[in-house]
Amino acid sequence: MIKAIFYSKFDTQEGPKVVHQVPDGAIVPSSTAPGQPLFLTFSDISFFVIPRQELCGNLLQVCTNGYRILGYPICMKSDRYARNEFIFNFCIVLAEEDDFSQYKSVVQKLADLMHALEEQSGFLSRDFSKTGEGKVYSLCEMLMEDLNNYCECMIPIDELNTLNIKLFPIYPSPPSVKAWQVPLFTVRYQAFMDENWDLSLQRIVPHINGVNSIRIISILADTDFSLTCRAIRHLLYYGCLFLLDIFSFSAIYAPTAQFNLTIGSDEAMQLECARYVNTRFAPHQPVGPRTPVPPQLMPGASSAHGASSPGVGPLASSSHEPATSFAHDESRFDAEEIWPLLGDRDDGSAATVTDAPEDDGVLAGQGPRVVDGVGIVELYAALRQGQSVKQWYSQHSRQLANIDIRRFITFGVIKGFIYRVHKYACATGQPAPTTRSSSSMMHLNSSTGPSSRATTGYNTPYAASSVGEDAPISTHRGGSGERVGVLHGEHRGNTVSGSGPSGVFEDDEEDDIDDRTLSKYLDGTHSFDQICTELEISERELTKRLKRYPGEVLIIHR
């Protein structure tokens, strides 16, 4: 916000002089405004306001007394002036801590216009009006008022000249985007997208659904990868989207230090979360271990459906999210109907409040039980280091039955109260340890649990952590097993992994990644997301390949 505007010039008798100031008395004392406190002492900055000729024609700024003065001094030489030169400057006064980047163009454009007016008609040198009067004073007054109130101005000066200025926000340069990052819209792009958009943007935008990585978006849109990155950065610059990590049930998430200050105590945020994650309001098929495998990804379906693009999972279908603004139209629902319902019990019976224990705080006969704000906070608090999303789900499957798990995790990441714990592979340079028998290894896993140290080599154990498995969760209901496929956004081909009575089916293609290529990623600085994306393999395939690496590899979680 502009605090003051003043016009000064070099007077041949008095030297640097303030001719007009708005508000009156802000820069130099004025008899018409004796009660106006001075923002600064003009004599302290007069050298910078009316500088030497070498500094004229440049943007100058000086800070004093908590204020920042921006000016663009102009020196005009002509024999019609006393001493054959005329130096003037229109300055803007801002608070020192305020962002002044958008005002740089204002002072420069104002100086250029006054320079042109002075050359045409001597607009400034022939102005002999008193302080607080005349066209120049009115110009400064209107300029300050319009920019502060409307962020733009259109001030007619004479029949041929008009001062048009508009303040445009200056956003910081967007960060570079990576192939393994996942963009997610925060606005409804359909509201402002039209046929005049860039052609690359028009092809890319329909595939931005919070699931597809930038590499997959480039493939699905059939656009050059560098153009895709530029388009994503353009949308990121204007705050239209967030960049997230690839969602996986093998990923680890943990609460941040902001947990108690946000979701832990903010009831409005808890209700907003329930609205966003409740499958009742989801614009697409919910994500969960019970999500069925699409027919085109079943074994033998490739011949019937043709070659499909890699990484197209259940959420990468045509029914993608039109927008994700955390606010859907649920005005027809009561606040209590926003909370997700609890799932069925293991015996298939629905959970009602009549089944609730006496100390549950819920009266009987009020309908199905729900996951309220306290339940949502408890679910987020249950996320911790060393525990994958798959393990977390298996412990809270009933509460998560009607919750879109991907949206649940995404909400916490965007709000900043949970964070992703990445996995990195680091080759120590040591030879692989001696191979132990499978029976002793089974005893080790059952007695001591998973280890944070992974050893590799042929037939050697790879027990970096319990999250190293990409196998989906098998939920048992009524004594029967149900196989569920987990689709990875960075798979090479249609690889679907599963566990349970139905067994596991996946591509048995020969390994074509040599040790030299793999070793470039084993310095502890490349996450599994990056490795899988650049090598076009799944995390399971990467894990198997690391087992055969001729050396010891440590898996680091951070």
Largest CA distance in the chain: 103
Closest CA to 211 of 347, 410, 370: 410
Do 240 and 257 sit in the same domain of this protein? no
Whether pLDDT at 443 is above 90: no
Residues 190 and 158 in one domain: no
Where do runs of H (alpha helix) occur along 278-357? 302-305
In this structure, are strands 60-64 and 67-71 parallel, antiparallel, or unpaired?
antiparallel
**Other beta carbons within 10 Å of 149:** 10
Residue that terminates a domain, selected from 132, 166, 200: 166
Which residue is associated with the tokens 């995390």? 539
DSSP codes, 104-173: HHHHHHHHHHHHHHHHHH-TTTT--PPTT-HHHHHHHHHHHHHHHHHSEEEEE-SSS-EEEEE----PPP
Instruction: Give the span between the Cα atoms of 359 and 313, in whole angstroms.
Output: 43
Q: How confident is the model over 296-338, as pLDDT tens digits?
A: 334 333 333 333 333 333 333 333 443 443 444 444 556 667 8
Q: Do 156 and 32 share a domain, yes or no?
A: yes
Over residues 274-298, mean pLDDT: 61
| Domain containing residue 142 | 2-166
With cut-offs at 50, 70 and 90, classify the pLDDT of residue 526.
very high
pLDDT at 429: 84
User: What value does the mean pLDDT take over residues 413-428?
Assistant: 94
What six digits make up the tokens of 336?
Answer: 């209590």
Split at pLDDT 50, 70, 90, the class of 351 is: low
Q: Give the range among 274-283, 421-430, 432-441 with minimum mean pLDDT.
A: 432-441
- 486 pLDDT tier (thresholds 50, 70, 90): very low
Confidence of residue 484 (pLDDT cuts 50, 70, 90): very low
Write the pLDDT tens digit of every residue in 105-129: 999 999 999 999 999 888 898 888 8
Note the pLDDT of residue 223. 93
Sign of the alpha-carbon dihedral angle for 168, 171, 177, 183: negative
Q: In the numeric block, which tokens belong to residue 243?
A: 């960049």
In a domain, 216, yes or no: yes
Quickly count: other Cβ atoms within 10 Å of residue 176's Cβ.
Answer: 8
Q: Are 538 and 529 in contact (CB under 8 A)?
A: no
Q: Are residues 157 and 268 in the same domain?
A: no
Chosen domain end from 227, 244, 261: 244
Neighbours of 340 (CB within 10 A): 25
Select the more confidently predicted residue: 99 or 309: 99
Say if 310 falls within a structural domain.
Answer: no
What's residue 493's pLDDT?
Answer: 37
Judged against a pLDDT cut of 60, whether residue 295 lies above it is answered with: no
* pLDDT of the residue at 350: 53
Number of domains in the chain: 4
In which band, very low, low, confident or very high, does the pLDDT at 411 lie, cut at 50, 70 and 90? very high
Paired sense of beta strands 152-156 and 182-185, if any: unpaired
Judgement on whether residues 82 and 188 belong to the same structural domain of the protein: no
Residues 15 and 130 grouped into a single domain = yes
Last residue of a domain, one of 402, 421, 440: 421
Residue type, 24: D
Cβ–Cβ under 8 Å, residues 99 and 170: yes
| CA 532 – CA 525 distance, rounded (Å) | 14
Place of tokens 């002075």: 118
The percent of residues above 90 in pLDDT, for the chain, comes to 46
Does a cis peptide bond (omega within 30 degrees of 0) precede residue 37?
A: no
pLDDT 10s digits, 81-97: 888 899 999 999 999 99
Q: Are residues 154 and 209 located together in one domain of the fold?
A: no
